[in-house]
Structure 1
Amino acid sequence: MATRATKSGFAAEAQDKINSKYDAEFAASVMAWVDMRLKRGGQPGINTNGSMENVFETLGDGFILATLMNILGENIKNVKREKMAFKKMELISQFLAACERYGLPKTELFQTVDLYEKQNLNQVVQCIAALGRKAHTKDGLGFGPKESERQSREWTDEQLKAGQNIIGLQMGSNKGASQAGQNFGKARMIVD
């Protein structure tokens, strides 16, 4: 992890607000899912403690995340524990790219510095939870609620035209209503 100066003022308040959203119990359940997937993939297990320190120490170099994506079927090449900072950040970036290929929208992802510099571990945990939800649709061994599946409907032109003649209940009734005889204000006179 790169060493940064201690935050103060508004930056410290913003960081405290970000850190206050972190839920250690939820993080522990996400880490337990990662542990289960790693063991099923023939890898050694990890510490499933949900504390910020453990999540950072376990996932901070990107090795576990890249290994997880290889187990889920995304091919990340040259996955090994690295010592150099840019190699660790590159591995985290490859994990994020693999998440996009797996089907996660960009809004569910985190920034590389969120994990590597311990800026927003809550977003990291949310991203892994979203990956678990997506895994339900791929192989059934997911985490959390299963994502809903798209149900597209096909309507014929006849059905669409039939719906144009129906007045919804939200609009009230048109029985006996007309605009005949309405006259508001003075009529527009072109010549006085």
Structure 2
Amino acid sequence: MANHGPSYGLSRECALKSQAKFNLERAQEALKWVEEVIEQKLEIPNSDEGIRNQADFATALRDGVALCELINRLCPNAVKRINTHTNAPFKHRENLEMFLKGCETYGLKSQDLFQVNDLYENKSLYLVVDCLFACGGMAQKQGFNGPRLGVKVADKNLRNFSEEQISSGKTIIGLQYGSNKGATQSGMSFGNSRKILPSEFMRN
């Protein structure tokens, strides 16, 4: 776990919000899926009881090895070389970066990913959980036959219109632009000159 001092002020407020968004059951479900896909048991303290907190979740994935193996199962050769059997922090970070690049290759969007520090420094672990669920959804879309996680990513609903349909659509005025149908200047008096009749002079 990364060693850093306590947070204060806005940093502490952001940290508390991130912790509140972390769902322990959802994180446990994601870790179980990772184990089933890579067919390995993750190193989690007191794993018989499952993860107890965010620290346990981060410990299981922090070196990036399991994540790289995961994306390689889903998208073969997404990560060419995994840094294993090392305690060097920069190698762990490199693994995480390669995993994230592999996710992009697999089809995940930038909003589905997390930053390396979100996991390595335990900043926003809920984003890591969300990313794993996004991987699970993409795996279903890509036809992965292994264990499932999350909801299948929807396919694009592409529509093809003929030139005639496109041209006719240009002549239609959308309701958001309003309508002047039936509008007249009846009853409007501004801009009209007043007529002075001779009878008005005679009364005066």
1:45 aligns with 2:48: no
When residues 182 and 30 of structure 1 are mapped into structure 2, their CA distance, relative to the original with a 3 A threshold, is: farther
Match of 2:103 in 1: 99
SS in 2 for 1:7: coil
Please give the per-residue CA displacement for 1:22-46, whole angstroms capped at 9, x wherever unaligned.
Answer: 000111111111111112xxxx223
When residues 183 and 74 of structure 1 are mapped into structure 2, their CA distance, relative to the original with a 3 A threshold, is: farther
When residues 66 and 185 of structure 1 are mapped into structure 2, their CA distance, relative to the original with a 3 A threshold, is: farther
Match of 2:164 in 1: 158
Gaps of 5+ in 1: none
Which of these residues, 89, 92, 95, is aligned with residue 85 of structure 1? 89
Match of 1:32 in 2: 32
Q: How many residues align?
A: 183
What TM-score, normalized by structure 2, do the two folds share? 0.77
Distance in 2 between the 1:185 and 1:82 partners? 87
Distance in 2 between the 1:124 and 1:15 partners? 15
Which structure 1 residue ranges, 4+ long, deviate > 3 Å from structure 2?
A: 160-174, 180-185
Please give the per-residue CA displacement for 1:148-189, whole angstroms capped at 9, x wherever unaligned.
Answer: 111211111323445567788999999xx5234446452399
Gaps of 5+ in 2: 194-204
Which amino acid counterpart does residue 45 of structure 1 have in structure 2?
K
Shift of 1:145: 1.2
Q: In angstroms, what is the RMSD of aligned CA positions?
A: 2.9
Distance in 2 between the 1:167 and 1:87 partners? 59
When residues 164 and 2 of structure 1 are mapped into structure 2, their CA distance, relative to the original with a 3 A threshold, is: closer
1:108 aligns with 2:112: yes
Please give the per-residue CA displacement for 1:27-73, whole angstroms capped at 9, x wherever unaligned.
Answer: 1111111111112xxxx223573431221111011111011111112
Task: Check conservation: 2:138, 2:153, Cα contact below 8 A.
Answer: yes
What TM-score, normalized by structure 1, do the two folds share? 0.81
My pick for the range that moved more, 93-102 or 78-87, is: 78-87
